[in-house]
Amino acid sequence: MQKDAVYGWENDNTKELFQAILKLKNVKECEDFFRDLATLREIDEMAERFRIAKMLDKGMSYLEIADKVDASTTTVTRVAHWLHHGRGGYRLVLDRAGR
């Protein structure tokens, strides 16, 4: 059984949330929606993880990234795990963004 299945996060509520996100049309709409949805810390943590994924994709070392982003090596390692062994979400977005 996948670890994701244990948490049961893929459900009607999350699908409805993701469908709502797909309806956003520009950065301003995303900013407004995510600010209403999440705390500033949660938004910052998601943005930090994405920044780390981009740096990993460019071949930067874990220590270099941790120092530059002011994140723990644990966070960098966790992002690296999901980048290389996750469901392909980071890869999809990085490829579409042109890295």
Domain membership of residue 13 as a residue range: 7-37
- Amino acid 1: pLDDT: 45
- Amino acid 4: pLDDT: 60
Whole-angstrom distance, CA of residue 29 vs CA of residue 82: 27
Q: Are residues 99 and 54 in the same domain?
A: yes
- Amino acid 98: pLDDT: 86
Q: Are residues 46 and 27 in the same domain?
A: no
- Domain assignment of residue 14, yes or no: yes
Q: Are residues 90 and 48 in the same domain?
A: yes
- Amino acid 6: pLDDT: 59
- Domain assignment of residue 47, yes or no: yes
- Amino acid 51: pLDDT: 98
Sequence-distant (6+) residues with CB within 8 A of 83 are 53, 56, 57, 90, 91
- Amino acid 7: pLDDT: 76
Q: Are residues 73 and 87 in the same domain?
A: yes
Amino acid occupying residue 2: Q
Q: Are residues 26 and 64 in the same domain?
A: no
Rounded average pLDDT per 10-residue block, the chain, 99 residues: 68 96 98 98 98 98 97 97 97 91
Q: How many domains, in total, are found in the chain? A: 2
